[in-house]
């Protein structure tokens, strides 16, 4: 199966990115009335740039993932190396998380600075074809530069959240008599944060669909990934609650998020597993009829 563009999906992602861009232009225009707040934005921007360039190391560290050698995990390295060739990608760093939660994630700012990590729980849970499907999904995220896209999309949303949280500490710069009260910036930041939060969640869900399709293109086996998603989803119920709590904050990185109540369903970074499986089955039927 060739790597084909899903133009409907790309159109929805492009529209979401355009709405975020328009929202942020308005946000910057409002904050430009407050020199002190803009100073905070610039400082936080510098921190975000640093975070962007070291995202692979920071994410691996926060997840407790350790880079492993070929001697430690020869089969995992061999599989990722072969799939990387099929995806026309440089081989990423390989990491393993010692966790009973069956999951995987990719990180890194570019294709040349990427890492793919799996948990020990995932290695114990999946067979080789299912594991290939999951690894191909993560490599599709790398090929689509999803980590870079989501980092950029989230930047001003994070700034807006900080302005809302600490806005009462900030005052307008210079003579405020001809300026709107500082609470205008705080209210604008709140609106920007809420709207961008929802748009970014939608963008994240679209990119999961794109990565599923990309995985099917890399392996030629949509059914393998569909089977893996079902296995992971059902395996979550067997994981001890303390493991779930430790990992739930990193939901945005995982191939399947850890479910934690109504809020996670309303604002999920991932589509429903059942919907993803149905789309993969449609791809399987499409390949069989081609």
Q: Considering its fold, how many domains does the chain have in total?
A: 1
- Residue 166 confidence (pLDDT): 58
Domain boundaries, position 178: 7-289
In a domain, 143, yes or no: yes
Backbone angles phi, psi at 108, to 5 degrees: 120, 145
In a domain, 1, yes or no: no
In the chain, where does DSSP find H-type helix?
7-31, 35-53, 55-63, 74-86, 120-125, 128-143, 146-166, 182-219, 222-235, 241-247, 262-266, 273-289
- Residue 60 confidence (pLDDT): 85
Q: Which of 6-15, 74-83, 219-228 has the lowest mean pLDDT?
A: 6-15
In a domain, 2, yes or no: no
**Residues 111 and 143 sit within 8 Å (Cβ to Cβ):** yes
- Residue 163 confidence (pLDDT): 63
> Which residue in 16, 4, 6 sits closest to 149, CA to CA?
16
Q: How far apart are CA 164 and CA 160, in angstroms?
A: 6
Element spanning 282, H or E: helix 273-289
In a domain, 282, yes or no: yes
3-state DSSP call for residue 217?
Answer: helix
Structure tokens at 290: 């081609």
| Residue 222 confidence (pLDDT) above 80 | yes
Catalytic residue among 132, 138, 208, 284: 138
Q: How far apart are CA 214 and CA 150, in angstroms?
A: 18
Q: Which of 8-22, 95-109, 140-154, 204-218 has the lowest mean pLDDT?
A: 8-22
| Residue 124 confidence (pLDDT) above 90 | yes
- Residue 46 confidence (pLDDT): 67
Q: Which of 115-124, 139-148, 187-196 has the lowest mean pLDDT?
A: 187-196
Pick the most confident of 98-107, 199-208, 240-249: 98-107
Q: Which of 109-113, 121-125, 235-239 has the lowest mean pLDDT?
A: 235-239
Measuring CA to CA, how many Å separate 133 from each of 72, 79, 205, 223, 240?
22, 11, 18, 9, 25
Q: Which pLDDT tens digit goes with each residue over 67-85?
A: 999 999 999 999 999 999 9
> Which residue in 260, 262, 239 sits closest to 103, CA to CA?
239
**Would you place residue 150 in the very low, low, confident or very high pLDDT band (cuts 50, 70, 90)?**
confident
Q: Does 130 participate in catalysis according to the annotation?
A: no
- Residue 151 confidence (pLDDT): 74
**Residues 97 and 120 sit within 8 Å (Cβ to Cβ):** yes
**Would you place residue 29 in the very low, low, confident or very high pLDDT band (cuts 50, 70, 90)?**
low
In a domain, 162, yes or no: yes
Measuring CA to CA, how many Å separate 238 from each of 77, 234, 245, 257, 264?
27, 8, 14, 15, 19
| Mean pLDDT, residues 89-100 taken together | 94
Q: What is the dihedral of CA 192, 51, 211, 22, to 10 degrees?
A: 30
In a domain, 80, yes or no: yes
What is the percent of the chain where pLDDT is above 70? 66
In a domain, 65, yes or no: yes
| Mean pLDDT, residues 86-94 taken together | 95
Between 226 and 239, whose confidence is greater? Answer: 226
In a domain, 51, yes or no: yes
**Residues 27 and 41 sit within 8 Å (Cβ to Cβ):** no
**Would you place residue 264 in the very low, low, confident or very high pLDDT band (cuts 50, 70, 90)?**
low
Pick the most confident of 9-18, 98-107, 123-132, 234-243: 123-132
| Residue 176 confidence (pLDDT) above 60 | no
């Amino acid at each position: 199966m060739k790597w084909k563009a899903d133009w409907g999906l790309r159109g929805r992602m492009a529209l979401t990115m355009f709405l975020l861009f328009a929202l942020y232009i308005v946000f910057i225009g409002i904050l430009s009335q407050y020199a002190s707040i803009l100073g905070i934005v610039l400082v936080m921007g510098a921190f975000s740039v640093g975070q962007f360039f070291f995202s692979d190391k920071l994410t691996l560290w926060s997840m407790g993932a350790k880079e492993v050698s070929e001697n430690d995990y020869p089969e995992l390295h061999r599989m990722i190396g072969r799939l990387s060739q099929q995806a026309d990608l440089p081989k990423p760093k390989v990491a393993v998380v010692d966790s009973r939660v069956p999951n995987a994630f990719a990180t890194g700012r570019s294709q040349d600075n990427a890492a793919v990590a799996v948990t020990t729980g995932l290695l114990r849970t999946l067979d080789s074809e299912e594991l290939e499907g999951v690894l191909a999904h993560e490599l599709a995220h790398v090929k689509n530069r999803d980590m870079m896209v989501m980092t950029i999309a989230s930047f001003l949303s994070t700034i807006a959240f900080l302005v809302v949280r600490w806005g009462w500490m900030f005052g307008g710069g210079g003579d405020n008599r001809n300026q709107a009260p500082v609470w205008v910036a705080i209210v604008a930041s709140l609106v920007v944060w809420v709207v961008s939060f929802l748009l970014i969640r939608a963008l994240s869900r679209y990119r999961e669909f794109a990565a599923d399709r990309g995985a099917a293109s890399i392996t030629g086996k949509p059914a393998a990934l569909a089977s893996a998603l079902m296995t992971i989803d059902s395996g979550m119920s067997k994981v001890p609650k303390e493991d779930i709590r430790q990992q739930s904050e990193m939901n945005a990185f995982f191939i399947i998020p850890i479910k934690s109540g109504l809020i996670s369903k309303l604002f999920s970074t991932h589509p429903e597993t059942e919907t993803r499986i149905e789309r993969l089955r449609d791809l399987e039927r499409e390949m069989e009829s081609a």
